[in-house]
Amino acid sequence: MSSFLDMSPRFNSDFLWGASTSAYQVEGGWDADGKGPSVIDMRDSIPEGTADFTVAADHYHRFEEDVQLFAELGLKAYRFSIAWTRIVPDGDGEINEQGLAHYDKLIDALVRAGITPVATLFHFDLPHALNLKGGWASRSTIDAFERYARIVIERFSDRVPYWLTINEQNMMVMMGDVLGTSDDGAMARAYQENHHMFLAQARVMKACHEIAPNVKIGPAPNIACVYPETPHPLDVQAAEYYSALRNWLYLDMATRGTYHSTAWGIMERKGWLPEVQPGDGEILANANPDFIALNYYVSHTVRRPLAEDGEMEGAGDQHIVIGEPGVYKGVPNSTLPTNDFGWEVDPVGFRTTLRQVWERYNLPILVTENGLGAFDVVDEDGRVRDPYRIDYLAQHIEQIGLAISEGVQMIGYCPWSAIDLVSTHQGIKKRYGFIYVDRTEDDLRSLNRLKKDSFYWYQRVIDTNGADLSSLIES
């Protein structure tokens, strides 16, 4: 037991054991039934040798089979995203009834299977046509997002009780070039886009409460605790700066409608302050989330930047932090193991993160992503043995139970991912699912589904409401 207190994990009987995906990473059918192209479909920076998103896991055509598998897994919730470009193909023009009909069918299948739908309104896939008109840098995208959100909330809120506004807005701002959501990674522009996304989110939360008072809506940033490399006061300060900029800027705005003062100060020093118009403050202050959704994969460790750090360029991504000159510098945490992709594994940091969020905001938490990307293989006997994933998930679930024992209010846990899908920038070889999909980066093969060992393990976890996390899987 990793805790100094004698606490045993406790999960309420209505705890939502779920799993997650996002539209562009799992659906495929990239131009099916009137869908318009998104920035992801049009991106020209997919790393060489990795799958594109045109077919992905073909969930668009195979969702019925997939929902059957989710039901067999025992999922109580399925967190998916709605592709804006299926509903309004050019972002702000005609409504595509075929797109709405698709999600009707998916949601109905989930409800029939006893699985609670949890819908994300926007997961990285901005309509390309809106991008051509300035994307999130243009205030008209705020109107387009509210209109699209109203359409889907009106249509689906009778069956979808949980809504998420924007997935990982913080990662789009800080790592948009890696994720393929930003053309150039210019930070001043990114923070203007950020301000507009804040306004869009606030207007949509308010609209949602008006349209469907019984459903719940919340933000879905990536939140991670930040450690200082040493107790040196300037390292501790660097950790607070980074946390202000990656965590609290987003959650303070979503819950209190104000800019976090430390984050604002850094933005000012860096020349990143957005243009704020009269009336924006009121819009931001008038939105109240019902809960906080968050994604957690890794903790971060930083130190004070030193003169020799230079411009701090390097191959970072959402979960490997390089640094910001004059503010913080990412460093490896020698106490933590890493996964196959260099991401540090820190289950205790997960609990710390949950506690920090609960203590700051006092809103119930739904974990909408957490998981392990790995090079899974199908053995000669046709089985996918993924004990490393079971280990990772078991350790993180244990920490949720302990967080609950420490008073954190949790709604549920939706690990990434329900089924194999294409990673944001590292292809299909980086697999996360409980269900294996038979394809490679460049060969679509059968696209058949195969239950991994972790599938049977998670089935038992759900069945025992988190009491049995042991990794033994019958051979």
Interface residues toward ligand BG6, by CB under 6 A: 22, 25, 167-168, 171, 222, 295, 318, 369, 373, 416, 423-426, 430
User: Least separation, in Å, of the C-beta of 393 and ligand BG6?
Assistant: 14
Which two tokens mark 8? Answer: 């045993």
Nearer to ligand BG6, 11 or 413 (CB): 413
Nearer to ligand BG6, 114 or 314 (CB): 314
Bridge partner list, 338:
344
Nearer to ligand BG6, 15 or 416 (CB): 416
Closest CA to 123 of 53, 18, 51: 53
User: Least separation, in Å, of the C-beta of 170 and ligand BG6?
Assistant: 10
3-state secondary structure of 170: helix
DSSP 8-state symbol, 447: -
User: Least separation, in Å, of the C-beta of 319 and ligand BG6?
Assistant: 7
What is the Cα–Cα distance from 67 to 87, expressed in whole angstroms? 22
Peptide bond preceding 417: is omega within 30 degrees of 0, i.e. cis? yes
Nearer to ligand BG6, 266 or 372 (CB): 372
Longest dimension (CA), the chain: 65
101 Cβ contact list (under 8 Å, min separation 6): none
Q: Catalytic: which of 193, 229, 344, 369?
A: 369
Closest CA to 20 of 107, 106, 66, 79: 79
Nearer to ligand BG6, 150 or 425 (CB): 425
Q: Catalytic: which of 168, 193, 229, 324?
A: 168
Q: Is 275 in the active site?
A: no
User: Least separation, in Å, of the C-beta of 20 and ligand BG6?
Assistant: 8
Cβ 100 vs Cβ 94: under 8 Å: no
Which two tokens mark 171? Answer: 């990662």
As separate numbers, helices (DSSP H) first and strands (DSSP E) second, the chain gives 15, 14
* Residue with the CB atom nearest ligand BG6 in the bound state: 423
What is the Cα–Cα distance from 52 to 409, expressed in whole angstroms? 39
Q: Is 168 in the active site?
A: yes
User: Least separation, in Å, of the C-beta of 220 and ligand BG6?
Assistant: 8
What's at 225, amino acid-wise? C
Q: Chain centroid to CA 142: how far?
A: 21
User: Least separation, in Å, of the C-beta of 437 and ligand BG6?
Assistant: 14
User: Least separation, in Å, of the C-beta of 316 and ligand BG6?
Assistant: 12
Q: What is the DSSP string of 209-274?
A: HHH-TTSEEEEE-B---EEESSS-HHHHHHHHHHHIIIIIHHHHHHHHSS--HHHHHHHHHHT-PP
Bridge partner list, 413:
17, 367
Nearer to ligand BG6, 222 or 299 (CB): 222
What is the Cα–Cα distance from 356 to 330, expressed in whole angstroms? 21
Nearer to ligand BG6, 141 or 424 (CB): 424
| Residues carrying an active site annotation | 168, 369
